[in-house]
């Protein structure tokens, strides 16, 4: 037996609901066992792929604890080790499969017979290996041997990135192993997803990594609302010293377009080819104001009177309201049954819109239509906010643009359902939003377009990628529809509870999540992976650029790198 295939321990007891208890063999150090590690129990008929959720120490007799060996008595400690004292593992079986002679050999892709489960408990392997994964509905017998999960086991379950039959993307590696853990990007983009973690745990880097994967594999078009200008051209790298990482525009210059709501800020950062974006007052609807009612301090009465104004003046209702005198408001209220005090308060508070740099009374053309044209052409759009990144400015623009695009996608999807013509099928669209709990809290989730998108799932070919540090602030119904959850370290109990909304066996995973490192570790669970897995996230560095970028930046002249304009790239054939 090969040294790396020696058993670690034996199953001593357990249950299907509470997991298995494993007693380590005497020659295995308990200090080598880390929460989040993956193990395989080889039963008589099936293999059980398990996650280590707890480690403890045991003794065969209480007398050992009453009279422990002297710290310098190595002989007695060695005598007791394995018989009188031993390490105990608590492991949670995640899935099971019947071993075959060559389980990792690629086989014809056949997803029709796969067991899919719900959005969280998904049992389809991410490989094209001819092995059927099954939900765990039994447990191995007493004294079944437990082994480290091998590279072959991981390839069976999580696949490999260059599998020609699947759109796999490596998000990282397991703890203590150097084998890729892949997301199935086709399954990833067909439902809304979330990236969660407290501040400083690398959510932006995870988001950038996943967006680069979807662009590289061409599984969807992305609309990214970049609140802090971190995804477009470049971003600061966390840590000591001053260094930057490349944004999506640098990696995919022909496939990514930057739009800016603050052209001055964008130019100051050296981005020369971003397209300006403005929103006119007639593109703001009452629904958009409902989302930012707390930011504008709008009362229910003001919103009700806003509906009266919109019904009377149509799209131009805000411009008309802002230009009305007190006498005109009085006359309007007398004829249309409005409330003068509420309308005057609404007028006063909407004057704050003048402080938002991208708002115009009117615009020369429809800028939002430009974004749709970009997406229809198969390119990805990043909307930068620059200095317009306060919550009011961010939430207003994000809601207005998404609402318009969603309405267009609904019409396209309905046409496709009627014609069944593949040429009419809309491109899958994934919308990325930050500070997601502001859009999806229980009070506003049913009123905003984002709550609608999250609940509709794939129905109209539009899904969300939500990025947030307070998942407890997101409506439970919306959280239950989040297909794949990628979670860095969280400390707040309410946030941890929210992550496991609708997750069977979530109690076992809580301890795993609480023990993540603060950097470059995440728990991945849901629709795009066959089982929950803790990963060391893939580095976003020069090696990553070389693997996926459309342009080899190392070969470009410095003048082009500094200019980074479309014209300069075109001159060099890019």
The predicted structure's pLDDT at residue 370: 92
- Residue spans of beta strands (DSSP E) within 181-310: 181-184, 193-196, 221-226, 234-236, 244-246, 256-260, 275-276, 279-280
Spatial distance between the Cα atoms of 420 and 235, rounded to a whole number of angstroms? 43
Q: Which residue has the higher pLDDT, 564 or 293?
A: 293
Using a 10 angstrom Cβ sphere, with 0-12 exposed, 13-18 middle and 19 or more buried, the burial of residue 45 is exposed
- Least confident among 70-84, 259-273, 336-350, 451-465: 70-84
**Could you tell me the residue ranges of all domains in the chain?**
3-166, 187-277+366-484, 282-358
- C-alpha 509/C-alpha 520 separation (Å) is 18
Going from the C-alpha of 338 to that of each of 25, 281, 299, 309, 367, the distances in angstroms are: 79, 21, 14, 9, 33
Within 60-116, strands assigned E span 85-97
Say what the pLDDT of residue 560 is. 46
Regarding beta strands 462-468 and 193-196, do their DSSP bridges make them parallel or antiparallel, or are they unpaired? parallel
Compute the radius of gyration of the chain from its Cα atoms: 28
Q: What is the pLDDT of residues 439-474, one digit of tens each?
A: 888 877 777 788 888 887 678 899 999 999 999 999
Across the chain, mean pLDDT equals 83
pLDDT band at 552 (very low <50, low <70, confident <90, very high): low
What is the torsional sign of CA 59, 63, 68, 74?
negative
381 versus 242: which is more confidently predicted? 381
Answer whether residue 255 shows pLDDT above 90. yes
Q: How far is CA 87 from CA 43, 54, 397, in A?
A: 21, 11, 56
Per-residue confidence (pLDDT) for residue 3, from 0 to 100: 47
Distances (CA, A) of 306 to 12, 288, 301, 324, 445: 68, 11, 9, 14, 20
Q: Are 338 and 332 in contact (CB under 8 A)?
A: yes
Q: Which of residues 157 and 145 earns the better pLDDT score?
A: 145
Between 104 and 467, where is the model more confident? 467
Q: pLDDT grade, residue 520 (50/70/90)?
A: confident
Distance, in Å, from the CA atom of 244 to the CA atom of 172, rounded to the nearest integer, reads 21
Fold of the domain built from segment(s) 187-277+366-484: Rossmann fold (3.40.50)
386 Rama class: left (phi>0) / alpha (psi -120 to 50) / beta: left
By the 8 A CB rule, do 257 and 370 touch? no
Of the two residues 309 and 74, the one the predictor is more confident about is 309
Tokens 């999540």 correspond to 513
- Alpha-carbon span 566 to 347, nearest angstrom: 43
Task: Give pTM, 2 decimals.
Answer: 0.82
**Alpha helices per DSSP H over 115-218:** 151-158, 185-189, 203-217
Other C-beta atoms closer than 10 Å to the C-beta of 76 total: 13
pLDDT (tens digit per residue) in 8-54:
999 999 998 889 999 999 888 888 888 888 899 999 888 999 988 88
How much is the pLDDT for 70?
61
pLDDT over 70 percentage in the chain: 84
49-101 pLDDT, tens per residue?
998 888 998 887 776 665 676 676 565 566 556 567 788 999 989 888 887 64
Give the DSSP H/E element, type plus range, for residue 170: strand 168-174
Q: What is the mean pLDDT of residues 355-364?
A: 89
Residue 480 main-chain phi, psi, to 5 deg: -65, -20
- pLDDT beyond 50 at 505: yes
Judge contact between 118 and 8, C-beta under 8 A: no
CB 65 within 8 A of CB 56: no
Closest CA to 371 of 391, 396, 400, 393: 400
In this prediction, residues 161-178 reach a mean pLDDT of 86
Among residues 82, 129, 123, 127, the alpha carbon closest in space to that of 104 is found at 129
Q: What is the rounded average pLDDT of the residues 197-224?
A: 91
User: In a 10 Å sphere around its CB, with 0-12 CB exposed, 13-18 middle and 19+ buried, how is residue 208 labelled?
Assistant: buried
466 exposure class (CB count in 10 Å sphere: 0-12, 13-18, 19+): buried
**Cα 82 from chain centre:** 44
d(Cα 471, Cα 482) in Å, to the nearest integer? 11
pLDDT above 90 as % of the chain: 28
pLDDT (0 to 100) of residue 429 = 93
Q: Which residue, 520, 529, 524, 511, is CA-closest to 52?
A: 511
Give me the half-sphere count of Cα atoms (radius 13 Å) on the Cβ side of residue 416.
16
Residue whose C-alpha is closest to residue 53's, from 18, 15, 91: 91
């Amino acid at each position: 037996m090969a040294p790396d295939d020696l058993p670690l321990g034996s199953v001593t007891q357990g249950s299907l609901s509470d997991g298995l208890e494993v007693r380590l063999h005497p020659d295995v150090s308990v200090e080598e066992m880390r929460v989040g590690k993956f193990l395989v129990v080889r039963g008589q008929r099936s293999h059980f792929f398990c996650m280590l959720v707890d480690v403890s120490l045991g003794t065969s007799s209480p007398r050992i604890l009453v009279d422990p060996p002297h710290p310098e008595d190595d002989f007695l400690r060695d005598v007791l080790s394995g018989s009188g004292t031993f390490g105990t593992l608590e492991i949670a079986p995640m899935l099971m499969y019947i071993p075959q002679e060559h389980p990792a050999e690629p086989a014809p892709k056949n997803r029709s017979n796969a067991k899919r489960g719900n959005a969280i408990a998904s049992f389809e392997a991410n490989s094209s290996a001819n092995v059927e994964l099954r939900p765990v509905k039994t447990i191995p017998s007493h004294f079944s041997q437990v082994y480290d999960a091998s590279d072959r086991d991981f390839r069976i379950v999580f696949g490999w990135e260059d599998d020609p039959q699947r759109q796999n993307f490596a998000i990282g590696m397991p703890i203590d192993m150097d084998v890729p853990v892949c997301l199935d990007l086709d399954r990833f983009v067909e439902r809304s997803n979330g990236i969660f973690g407290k501040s400083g745990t690398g959510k932006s880097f995870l988001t950038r990594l996943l967006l680069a994967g979807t662009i590289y594999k061409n599984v969807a078009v992305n609309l990214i609302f970049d609140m802090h200008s971190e995804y477009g051209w470049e971003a600061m790298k966390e840590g000591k010293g001053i260094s930057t990482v490349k944004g999506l525009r640098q990696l995919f210059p022909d496939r990514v377009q930057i739009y800016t709501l603050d052209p001055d800020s964008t130019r100051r950062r050296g981005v020369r080819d971003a397209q300006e974006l403005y929103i006119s007052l007639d593109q703001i609807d009452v629904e958009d104001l409902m989302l930012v009612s707390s930011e504008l301090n709008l009362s229910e009465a003001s919103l009700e009177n806003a509906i009266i104004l919109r019904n009377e003046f149509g799209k131009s209702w805000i411009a008309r309201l802002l230009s009305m005198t007190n006498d005109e408001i009085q006359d309007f209220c007398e004829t249309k049954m409005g409330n003068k005090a509420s309308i005057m308060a609404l007028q006063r508070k909407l004057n704050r819109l003048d402080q938002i740099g991208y708002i115009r009374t009117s615009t020369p053309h429809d800028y939002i239509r430009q974004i749709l044209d970009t997406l229809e052409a198969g390119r990805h759009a990043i909307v930068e906010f620059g200095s317009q990144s306060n919550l009011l400015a961010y939430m207003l623009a994000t809601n207005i643009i998404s609402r318009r695009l969603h309405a267009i996608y609904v019409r396209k999807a309905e046409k496709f359902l009627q014609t069944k013509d593949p040429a009419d099928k809309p491109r899958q669209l994934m919308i990325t939003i930050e500070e997601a709990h502001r859009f999806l809290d229980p009070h506003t989730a049913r009123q905003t377009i984002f709550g609608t998108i999250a609940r509709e799932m794939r129905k109209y070919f539009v899904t969300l990628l939500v990025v947030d540090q307070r998942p407890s602030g997101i409506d439970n119904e919306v959280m239950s529809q989040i297909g794949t959850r990628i979670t860095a370290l969280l400390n707040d109990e309410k946030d941890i509870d929210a992550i496991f909304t609708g997750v069977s066996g979530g109690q076992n995973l809580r301890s795993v999540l609480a023990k993540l490192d603060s950097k470059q570790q995440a728990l991945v669970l849901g629709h795009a992976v066959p089982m929950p897995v803790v990963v060391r996230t893939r580095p976003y560095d020069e090696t990553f650029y070389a693997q996926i970028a459309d342009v080899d930046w190392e070969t470009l002249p410095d003048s082009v790198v500094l200019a980074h304009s479309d014209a300069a790239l075109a001159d060099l054939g890019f």
